[in-house]
């Protein structure tokens, strides 16, 4: 196959997976990144992400040995209203994100360099440049850039508060559901790093954040501070291609809408869609078929989430759902591509918080 010059915008998970696969396919690949170095924005990273995943299946799919970056969870707990749940940890992993050498971003960056990928740092894609980049460029700039908006993709807006600190905890995640947000908050730990996030609709306030941080202090004796906040734009529909300024662009990661809308799991989608975006340079049809197969269930959840967000009294509805844990778990499971009943969580024990 003829060598192509391929431009990728965004050196995050999906952009790097695309770049590695395309460079291996013999193409000349340049990745344009907004930040000065690898690891995304300092407003949310370094961070620790938790993800359900079939590591072996994922490695095979993306063609990159990334297992060493993921650690199986030692503990996964939920704090739902005033009740604590301990869950089984089958197929649940934590992974570090950001610029540190122990992060997945850094690992993929090093792999891409070995494959001969070129990097242009401090090279943001801007609304002006969007009109002039070559057809078939891959756009992988994540939900927290405004590119989703600039591309005129229908989107929903989230607000996120993020904080991180050092820790001596192992590989763990605690998810918090309560009346401080209609989404959820969490803390995750790995590699001596603890990161926390509270996400929700645009009107998520400092008061909500304070309530969440107080609960973390009360239940886990962890004092979180140094919060930053970002607004994220997530497409309402998963799509691999978009037409802009008369040209077709390929989308990957958050920009392709490839993340679970209820729980914000985006690591699986970023890795898978990075591979599919690379495939699209060989055959658009095959890539589209593959993309649709992975996102058919996701698209239904995107619609459900949009409806859910517009419901009045949604906090009340959420708290009712949370009371019945089986319903709650099936809600999560539904929105994770590839997961079956056997793979998902079971509750090991529960305890009331007094």
Ligand X SMILES: Cc1cc2nc3c(=O)[nH]c(=O)nc-3n(C[C@H](O)[C@H](O)[C@H](O)COP(=O)(O)OP(=O)(O)OC[C@H]3O[C@@H](n4cnc5c(N)ncnc54)[C@H](O)[C@@H]3O)c2cc1C
* Residues that bind ligand X in the complex, under the rule CB under 6 A: 9-15, 32-35, 40-41, 44, 47, 49-51, 124-125, 140-142, 144-145, 147, 162, 197, 253-254, 259, 264-267, 270
8/11 Cα distance (integer angstroms): 8
- From the CB of 211, what's the least distance to ligand X, in Å? 20
Q: Which is nearer to ligand X, 228 or 320 (CB)?
A: 228
185/158 Cα distance (integer angstroms): 13
Burial class (CB within 10 angstroms; exposed 0-12, middle 13-18, buried 19+) of 15:
buried
Q: Which is nearer to ligand X, 64 or 270 (CB)?
A: 270
330-335 — which CB contacts under 8 Å span 24+ positions? 331/262, 332/262, 332/263, 334/297, 334/301, 335/260, 335/261, 335/262, 335/263, 335/265, 335/297, 335/298, 335/301
- From the CB of 310, what's the least distance to ligand X, in Å? 23
- DSSP code of residue 70: E
- From the CB of 262, what's the least distance to ligand X, in Å? 12
Beta strands 5-9 and 28-32, pairing class: parallel
Contact 99, 39 (CB under 8 A): yes
38/35 Cα distance (integer angstroms): 7
Q: Which is nearer to ligand X, 182 or 196 (CB)?
A: 196
Q: Which residue of this chain has its Cβ atom nearest to ligand X in the complex?
A: 12
Q: Which is nearer to ligand X, 144 or 176 (CB)?
A: 144
Q: Which is nearer to ligand X, 49 or 328 (CB)?
A: 49
Q: Which is nearer to ligand X, 26 or 154 (CB)?
A: 154
Q: Which is nearer to ligand X, 9 or 316 (CB)?
A: 9
- From the CB of 320, what's the least distance to ligand X, in Å? 25
36/250 Cα distance (integer angstroms): 24
- From the CB of 116, what's the least distance to ligand X, in Å? 20
For the chain, what's the residue count?
354
- From the CB of 41, what's the least distance to ligand X, in Å? 5
- From the CB of 249, what's the least distance to ligand X, in Å? 13
- DSSP code of residue 145: S
């Amino acid at each position: 196959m003829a060598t192509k010059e391929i431009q990728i915008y965004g050196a995050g998970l999906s952009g790097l997976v695309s770049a590695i696969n395309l460079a291996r396919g013999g193409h000349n690949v340049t990745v344009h990144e907004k930040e000065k170095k690898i690891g995304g924005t300092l407003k949310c990273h370094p961070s620790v992400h938790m993800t359900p995943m079939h590591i072996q299946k994922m490695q095979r799919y993306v063609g990159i040995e990334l297992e060493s970056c993921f650690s199986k969870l030692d503990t996964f707990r939920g704090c739902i209203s005033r009740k604590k749940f301990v869950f089984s940890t089958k197929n649940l992993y934590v992974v570090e994100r950001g610029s540190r050498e122990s992060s997945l971003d850094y690992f993929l960056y090093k792999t891409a360099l070995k494959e001969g990928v070129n990097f242009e740092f401090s090279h943001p894609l801007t609304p002006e440049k969007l009109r002039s980049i070559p057809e078939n460029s891959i756009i992988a700039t994540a939900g927290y850039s405004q590119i989703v908006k600039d591309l005129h993709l229908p989107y929903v807006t989230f607000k996120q508060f993020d904080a991180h600190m050092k820790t001596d905890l192992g590989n763990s995640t605690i998810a918090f559901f309560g009346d401080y947000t209609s989404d959820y908050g969490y803390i995750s730990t790995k590699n001596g790093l603890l990161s926390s996030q509270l996400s929700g609709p645009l009107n998520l306030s400092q008061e909500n954040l304070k309530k969440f941080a107080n609960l973390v202090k009360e239940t886990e004796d962890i004092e979180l501070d140094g919060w930053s906040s970002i607004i994220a734009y997530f497409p309402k529909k998963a799509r691999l291609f978009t037409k802009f300024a008369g040209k077709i662009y390929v989308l990957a990661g958050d920009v392709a809408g490839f993340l679970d809308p209820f729980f914000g799991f985006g690591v699986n989608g970023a890795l898978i869609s990075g591979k599919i975006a690379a495939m699209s340079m060989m055959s658009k049809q095959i890539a589209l078929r593959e993309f649709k197969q992975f996102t058919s269930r996701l698209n239904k959840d995107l619609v459900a989430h949009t409806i859910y967000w517009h419901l009045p009294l949604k906090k009340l509805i959420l708290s009712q759902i949370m009371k019945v844990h089986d319903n709650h778990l099936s809600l999560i499971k539904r929105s994770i591509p590839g997961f079956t009943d056997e793979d998902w969580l079971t509750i090991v024990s529960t305890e009331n918080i007094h």
